[in-house]
Amino acid sequence: MDVRDEKQVDAFFSGLEQLDVLIANAGVARDGLVASLNADDFADMVNTNLRGAFLCARAALKLMVRQRHGHIILIGSRAARYGPRGQSAYAAAKAGLVAFAQTIAKEYGGRNIRCNVVLPGFMETKMTAGLTKDRKEAVLTEHALDRFNTPENAARFIAFLARLDHVSGQVFTLDSRIDRWA
């Protein structure tokens, strides 16, 4: 389904009888400096990365509230914390996911519904395939373990997190870049 299309999202979720875990991982990235970033590209990134998560979470919450349990896991990005050069729209949308998750955690925790954000780290995926070898090597130098995360490792962590019934409103970073506390 196209997560940007409210009718498609609502139709998909209305066909479900039960939903234990939602993993909102749709995302797009188009880099560009703010002054030269196309407004349509900015809107598409926000619509896909943030609004799409909102539409899916809202639809999922209807089921989860009725069930009195559920877990929403939003896939964010380290860009949300650091606003990298050339990624204003992507970073803004991913930062919005953090606040969105914490709000859901507070609003629905009393109904036994959890919401967390996973920052999977840099991975070799379709989204990063177009980066130059030099750029990938530069990112790799930031990693203490001198390697990138993998989709398989991210999936294992997400499956583990989905089973933790006491964790909500948190952000989990899954790579070896060491960040300052404040």
Contacts of 168 (CB under 8 A, 6+ apart): 105, 109, 114, 115, 116
Q: Which of 2, 28, 23, 4 is nearest to 125 (CA)?
A: 28
Catalytic residue among 13, 42, 90, 122: 90
pLDDT tens sequence across 13-48: 999 999 999 999 988 888 888 999 889 999 999 999
Residue 90 known to be catalytic? yes
What percentage of the chain reaches a pLDDT higher than 90?
66
Q: Which tokens hold the place of 180?
A: 């300052």
Element containing residue 92 per DSSP (H, E): helix 88-108
The mean pLDDT of 51-64, rounded to a whole number, is 98
For residues 164 and 21, give the distance between their C-alpha atoms in angstroms, rounded to a whole number: 12
CB-CB contact of 115 with 169 (8 Å): yes
Query: Is the full-model pTM beyond 0.85?
Result: yes
Cα(140)–Cα(147) distance, integer angstroms: 6
Residue identified by tokens 């109904």 is 111
For residue 182, what pLDDT is reported? Answer: 52
Mean pLDDT (the chain) is 92
Give the residue extent of every domain in the chain. Answer: 6-173
Pick among 1.10.3720.10, 3.40.50.720, 3.30.465.10, 3.10.129.10: CATH of 6-173: 3.40.50.720
> What does the alpha-carbon distance between residue 92 and residue 79 come to, in Å, rounded to a whole number?
8
